[in-house]
Structures are given as C-alpha cells and as structure tokens.
Amino acid sequence: MNRAPPILVVEDNDEDFDMLQMTFQSESIPNPLYRCTEGEEALEFLHQTGRYADPEKAPWPGLILLDLNLAGLDGRQVLEHVKNDPRLKSIPVLVFSTSGNPKDVQSAYAHGASGYLLKPVDLPRFERMIRLFKDFWLDYIVLPEGEGSRR
C-alpha cells in the first residue's frame, strides 16, 4: 500500500487517546489518527454529514478503533450500525476497551468486530500492545482503500 490509511479512533477518554497518540509517535506509525468522542459524532464522520460534511475533515478510514463505553450512542450501537451498513461494513473494527466482560467480548464478535483489544492500564504494556497492533494490522494486513464519496 502506497499510503498509510487513516484510523478513526472513537474514544471519549482524553488520557487513553493521548497515550495512543504518544505511542503512535514514538513507534513512528505513519497512519493519521482521527478522533471522535461520541457515537453520534463517529457516524457523522463515517457518513460525512453534520460537522464532517467536508470530505477533507473525514477521510475514509482503513480501520476503526472503537471504545464500547461512550455516552449517548455507545460503541456497541456504533459497531452494529457500521456492520449493517453496506457501504461501511468492509471497514475493520477493532474494539478497544477496558471491559473484559465475556458478554461484551461475545457481543462484539457477534456484531462483526474484527478483534477485541483490552486496554492495558500501564504504559509499558500499552506500548507493547500498540507495537503488536502495528506489526500485525498495519504492516501485514491489507486494509480496504478509500471509498471516495460516501453520500
């Protein structure tokens, strides 16, 4: 792949997002990160509507990192929407959550998640997980290319 595809991060926790950004920088991961803090915002991004009507603000993501526990429309509902939308369902969605509840894990996979990552609480484990994520998902997996206009 010629260009590192954008990654949409749906995460409401500033500390978790900052740690993700810092680790991407320290690991020289070239994929640009775009962040939405709410489920409704993520759907606006994916459909290029509302505050994301300008396609430059909402490029087609090659991958979505999705937190489950969001205010309003939660990550479970976002996952269900993405996987039921014919235009979006090819985008791999990795759940990125602190919840290790077997019901959450089962539900995520049942609704089409490509993977389920437990957020480590300490920085060294978090950095290791991001290195492994990079090695597998960004260096070896071929991600879908942009779909152009999604309207």
Mean pLDDT of 82-100: 95
What total of structural domains would you count in the chain?
1
Higher pLDDT: 110 or 148? It is: 110
14 belongs to a structural domain: yes
13 belongs to a structural domain: yes
How many CB atoms within 10 Å of residue 119? 18
pLDDT the model gives residue 151: 46
The residues, ordered by sequence, that sit 6+ positions from 96 with a Cβ below 8 Å of its Cβ are 9, 11, 65, 66, 67, 117, 119
49 belongs to a structural domain: yes
User: Residues of the chain with pLDDT > 90: what percent?
Assistant: 85
Pairing of β 33-36 and β 7-10: parallel
144 belongs to a structural domain: no
Task: Name the residue range of residue 18's domain.
Answer: 7-138
Mean pLDDT of 47-51: 95
37 belongs to a structural domain: yes
State the amino acid at position 25 in one-letter form.
Answer: Q
97 belongs to a structural domain: yes
21 belongs to a structural domain: yes
The residues, ordered by sequence, that sit 6+ positions from 20 with a Cβ below 8 Å of its Cβ are 9, 11, 33, 65, 130
Mean pLDDT of 116-125: 92
1 belongs to a structural domain: no
Could you tell me the CATH number of the domain that includes residue 110?
3.40.50.2300
